[in-house]
Structure 1
Amino acid sequence: MSVSHDFFEDAKQHIPGGVNSPVRAFRSVGQDPLFIDHAKGSHIFDVDGNEYVDYVCSWGPMILGHAYQPVIDAVKAACDNGLSYGAPTQKETVLAKLILEAVPFMDKVRLVNSGTEAVMSAIRVARGYTGKDKIIKFRGNYHGHSDGLLVTAGSGLLTESTPDSAGVPKGYTQTTLLANYNDEASVEALFKANKGEIAAVIVEPVSANMGVVPPKKGFLEFLRQITKDNDALLIFDEVITGFRLAFGGASEYFGIQPDMITFGKIVGGGMPLAAYVGKKDIMDMVAPVGAVYQAGTLSGNPIAVTAGIESLKVLKADKDIYKRIDAFASKLEEAYKKKGISVNRVGSLLSPFFTDGSVESYADVLKCDTEKFAQYFRGMVAEGIYVAPSQFEAMFISDAHTEEDLEKTLSAIDKVL
C-alpha cells in the first residue's frame, strides 16, 4: 500500500468520495488517486515521493508552470497586507483593464470566484438584457455545476457516466435547449421551434470537457450570425480556452467576437478567480447599476487578483509563449498519430481518443474505449507521466515544459502504446 492510499481511505471517511471534485477520485481509471505534496515548474510530486511530468496543470490554470516565482513573490507580498477586505481595491481595476486589453471589443468586466459562477451570472445577465428565458447549450459542453446547465454535460459528469445530475428539478432545465456541437441544423431547428424566445447560445468555442473537439470550419461564424439574426446573445465559455489559445483566447484565435465571454482558470493564475465580460449596454444590466443581481463576499479577492495580474502581465509581454507551447503540443500530437491513436489538438490543448475514426461530436466521443484509456493512463503514470485521469479531459501544456520532459513523454508513449 501507499501513503496516497492511506490518505485516500482517511479522506473517504470525512469527504464525499474522498475528494472535493469527482474526477479527482480516479474512478474511471481503476486506481487510487495521487495525493500531491508539492509542485514546481512542469512537475508534480506525490506524498510517496514520486515525481511526474504534469499534463493536467491543475486542469488548465498553470500555463506558466507551477510555483512560477514572480507570481509566488507577488502573492506572498499581498498576503502581508491582509487576505480579504470585502471592499474595492485598485488592483481589481488593474486586472479588469488587462482582461479588456485581451478582448478590446468588450467594455466591462465583473470578477467572481469560479467558472461556474461566471457562467451562471452571464446567463442571468443575458436573460435580463434580452427579456427572454431560453438558452441553447451543446451536448458534451460543460459550463459548471449550476442547476440549469447540468444537462447532457461533459467533464466530470461524462467521466461518471451520468450526463445529468440528481437533485436538479425538471423546472430548472426546461429553459435549457440542447443542440449538437458542430451541427448547424440542430441549432437552426431550435431557433425555428422557439422563435423569439431564445436569450442566448452558450458554447465552448473549442469543446474541451469531452476531450478536445474543435469547431468545424464555419461553425462559430454560423453561431455568430444566427444569434444576431434572432436578437439573441452569443456567449463564449472560455474558462479553458481563455488566455490559452492566444492572449485574446478563442475570440482572437478564431476571429469571432461574441457578445459575452466567461473566463476562469488562467485568469486567476492558479487562485480561485473568474470573470465575465461584455459590451457596456449588456454589463450595465448588472447591479448596482442595473436590475440583474450578482454579488459575492470574496469576489475580487486581493490575493487572487494579484495572482491574476502577475500571470496576465507575463502572457501579455511574451506572446511567444503561445508559439512554444503550441509547438510542444504538436510534437505530442505527432507521437500519438504514429501509434495509430486518434488525436485532436487546438493550440496547446490536445486529447488522444481511444476510438476508431475521427472525433467531431459528442456522439463520436461516446464511442471511446474507456478501458483502453484506463490502461494507457496507468501505464503513463507508471512511467512518471501524469495525464488527466479521464478519457474526456484535455492535456494541457505549460511554458515550463522542457525538451527533457518531451523526450521522457515520447518514450512513455512509445512504451505504453
Structure 2
Amino acid sequence: MLETSKKLFERAQQFIPGGVNSPARAFKSVGGTPVFFEKAEGSLLTDVDGKEYIDYVGSWGPMILGHAYEPVIEAVRETAGRSTSFGAPTEVEVKMAELVRQMVPGVDKIRMVNSGTEACMSAIRVARGYTGRDKIIKFEGNYHGHGDSFLINAGSGALTLGQPSSPGVTKGTAQDTLTADFNDLNSVKQLLNEYEGEVAAIIVEPVAGNMGCIPPKKGFLPGLRELCDAHDVVLIFDEVMTGFRIAKGGAQQRYGVTADLVTYGKIIGAGLPVGAFGGRREVMDEVSPVGPVYQAGTLSGNPLAMAAGFALLSELNKNPRHYDELEEKTTYLFSGLKEVFEAHEVAASINRVGSMISVFFTGEEVIDFRTARSTDQRLFKRFFHEMLKNGVYLPPSPFESWFLANSHTELLLDDTIAAADTAIASALSE
C-alpha cells in the first residue's frame, strides 16, 4: 500500500523542503506518508498506485461541483489554445468582475491576484492606506495565509505543526497584530478601547475553517460590523474558504452582514492558482492605479484561471439549487457520522455550515481555538489512517474543514459512513 507514494516522497525530500510544497500536505499531525495522486473525477481520487478514494479535501475547497468538471476543463482547453498568459488585459477579467459583482453583496470593485494569501495581504495594506492606521485585529486560530501580519496565533498548518507563530516575523510586525478570541465580542471591544484610533482593520474567517469548521455564534458577525462602524475600522471577511461555497454570495449573504472588504482564493479559479479582493468602491479606489496603495502582479487575472473560474461561478449563479443539494448531502453525512460515533460511545462534536463539516473528538462544544484544541488528536490520527485504508481521503489534520461536492452521491456518502463505522472501531481497539 502506498508503495509508489513512499518512493516519490523519498525523492521529493531530497529537493523540496519536507518533500511538499505546502506544509498542510506533509501528514505531520497524522504521521505516515503523504498520498501522491495521479487523477481525479467527481468525488473520486486515484493515487499513483491506482487505488481510489472518496475525496473530502476537494483541493481544499474549490471543487464544489467535483473534480474535472467538464465545463471547467473545456474552458481551460479552449483558452490555453490561444495562450496561457498575456500580461495584458483580457475580456474574461471584465466578465469575471461583473459576475462577482452580480453574485456578492457589497462588492463594488474587485482586484484579481494569484492566491488567497496575496489577497489577504493586499486587503490589509488597503485598509491601512484607507484609514491611515497601522494595527489590525485577527482571531486566534484563524489563518489568512503566510503573510507576516497573519502568523500570530495562526491556525491550519501553523497550528498543526505546533507553531502558532513563525520565526522570521519581526517584532514590529507582531506588535501591529492584535489577537482576539473567535466568537467573543468582548475580547474585540477591549482591544478597540485599549487601542482607540490605532486599529485599521478587523480580519476574520466568518466561518472558521483553519481550526476545523467553526460557525459564528448568533450575533458575532453583526456585532463585529457594529464595532467597526463605531470605531471607523475596516471589516474584512476572509472568504477564501466560504466564498461561493456556503451560499452564492458567500458568508455575507448567508449571515446578512456586509463587510468593507472580502478576500477570495481557490474557488474563484475553480482550483487554478488565483485569489481576489474586493469591496466598497470608496475603499477599493485606494488601490493603484486609481489610488496611492500599490498592488501589482504580472500573472494577476491569468486567462486560464479566469476562464475556469468564470465557467464554475456561472454554473453556481445560474443554478442555485446546487446549494440546496449540498446542504442536504452534508446533513445526510452529519446524521450518519453522528449515529456511528454514538453507537461506539465516542465523544464527538460535529460542526457543519453549508457543505463544510468537521469532526472533533471531544465532548465539549467547539466554538473557538481553545475548544478546538480539546479534540483528541491521537484518536483522530488513528481514525484518519483507518479511513485512508478504507478508501476515504480526509484532510490530514484535525484542524481542517472537510469539503463536500455535489458529485458526492448518496452511495458515496453511505460508503463513507460505513467506512467511519469500521475505522472508529479499529481506532478504538488500538
Q: TM-score by structure 2 length?
A: 0.96
Matched, 1:350 2:363: no
Rounded to whole Å, the distance in 1 between the matches of 2:290 and 2:93 is 18
Rounded to whole Å, the distance in 2 between the matches of 1:173 and 1:149 is 9
- The equivalent residue for 2:201 is 200
- The equivalent residue for 1:250 is 251
- The equivalent residue for 1:367 is 374
Within-5 A mapping of 1:81-230: 81-230=82-231
- Cα deviation for residue 348 of structure 1 reads 0.6
User: What do the CA deviations read for 1:208-230 (whole angstroms, capped 9, x no partner)?
Assistant: 10001111110001000000000
> Given the alignment, which residue of 389, 403, 407 partners 2:414?
407
- Cα deviation for residue 286 of structure 1 reads 0.5
Q: Secondary structure at the match of 2:201?
A: strand
- The equivalent residue for 1:416 is 423
User: What do the CA deviations read for 1:177-212 (whole angstroms, capped 9, x no partner)?
Assistant: 000001111001001100011111000000110001
- Cα deviation for residue 105 of structure 1 reads 2.6
Gaps of 5+ in 1: none
User: What do the CA deviations read for 1:8-30 (whole angstroms, capped 9, x no partner)?
Assistant: 00000010000000111112112
* Residues 279 and 62 of structure 1, relative CA distance in 2, 3 Å threshold: same
Rounded to whole Å, the distance in 1 between the matches of 2:163 and 2:284 is 35
- Cα deviation for residue 170 of structure 1 reads 1.2
- The equivalent residue for 1:19 is 20
Rounded to whole Å, the distance in 2 between the matches of 1:235 and 1:215 is 15
Rounded to whole Å, the distance in 2 between the matches of 1:357 and 1:332 is 21
- Cα deviation for residue 168 of structure 1 reads 1.1
Matched, 1:331 2:332: yes
Rounded to whole Å, the distance in 1 between the matches of 2:268 and 2:327 is 19
Q: In the alignment, residue 165 of structure 2 is paired with which amino acid?
A: D
Q: Secondary structure at the match of 1:110?
A: strand
Rounded to whole Å, the distance in 2 between the matches of 1:6 and 1:321 is 40
> Given the alignment, which residue of 388, 391, 400 partners 2:398?
391
Which of structure 1's runs of 4+ aligned residues deviate more than 3 A? none
- Cα deviation for residue 274 of structure 1 reads 1.0
User: What do the CA deviations read for 1:115-159 (whole angstroms, capped 9, x no partner)?
Assistant: 000000000000000111110000000000001110000010111
Rounded to whole Å, the distance in 1 between the matches of 2:413 and 2:53 is 12
Q: In the alignment, residue 404 of structure 1 is paired with which amino acid?
A: L
Q: Secondary structure at the match of 1:162?
A: coil
Rounded to whole Å, the distance in 1 between the matches of 2:180 and 2:28 is 29
- Give the paired residue count: 417
User: What do the CA deviations read for 1:59-118 (whole angstroms, capped 9, x no partner)?
Assistant: 001111000011101100100101111101111010001111111432100000000000
- The equivalent residue for 2:345 is none
Q: Percent identity?
A: 52
The answer to whether the 8 A contact 1:112-1:274 is kept is: yes
- Cα deviation for residue 335 of structure 1 reads 2.1
Q: Secondary structure at the match of 1:121?
A: helix
Rounded to whole Å, the distance in 1 between the matches of 2:137 and 2:320 is 34
Q: In the alignment, residue 421 of structure 2 is paired with which amino acid?
A: D
- Cα deviation for residue 336 of structure 1 reads 2.5
Q: TM-score by structure 1 length?
A: 0.99
> Given the alignment, which residue of 388, 395, 399 partners 1:381?
388
- The equivalent residue for 1:315 is 316
User: What do the CA deviations read for 1:301-324 (whole angstroms, capped 9, x no partner)?
Assistant: 011100010000010011011111
- Cα deviation for residue 354 of structure 1 reads 1.1
* Residues 104 and 358 of structure 1, relative CA distance in 2, 3 Å threshold: closer
Rounded to whole Å, the distance in 2 between the matches of 1:281 and 1:105 is 12
Q: In the alignment, residue 265 of structure 1 is paired with which amino acid?
A: K
Provide the alpha-carbon RMSD of the alignment: 0.8
Rounded to whole Å, the distance in 1 between the matches of 2:338 and 2:153 is 29
Q: Secondary structure at the match of 2:15?
A: coil
- Cα deviation for residue 344 of structure 1 reads 0.4
Q: Secondary structure at the match of 2:34?
A: coil
Gaps of 5+ in 2: 343-347, 425-430
Q: Secondary structure at the match of 2:46?
A: strand
Rounded to whole Å, the distance in 2 between the matches of 1:172 and 1:286 is 22
- Cα deviation for residue 398 of structure 1 reads 0.5
Rounded to whole Å, the distance in 1 between the matches of 2:107 and 2:27 is 39
Rounded to whole Å, the distance in 2 between the matches of 1:158 and 1:105 is 32
Q: In the alignment, residue 220 of structure 1 is paired with which amino acid?
A: L
Rounded to whole Å, the distance in 2 between the matches of 1:385 and 1:213 is 22
Rounded to whole Å, the distance in 2 between the matches of 1:412 and 1:104 is 40
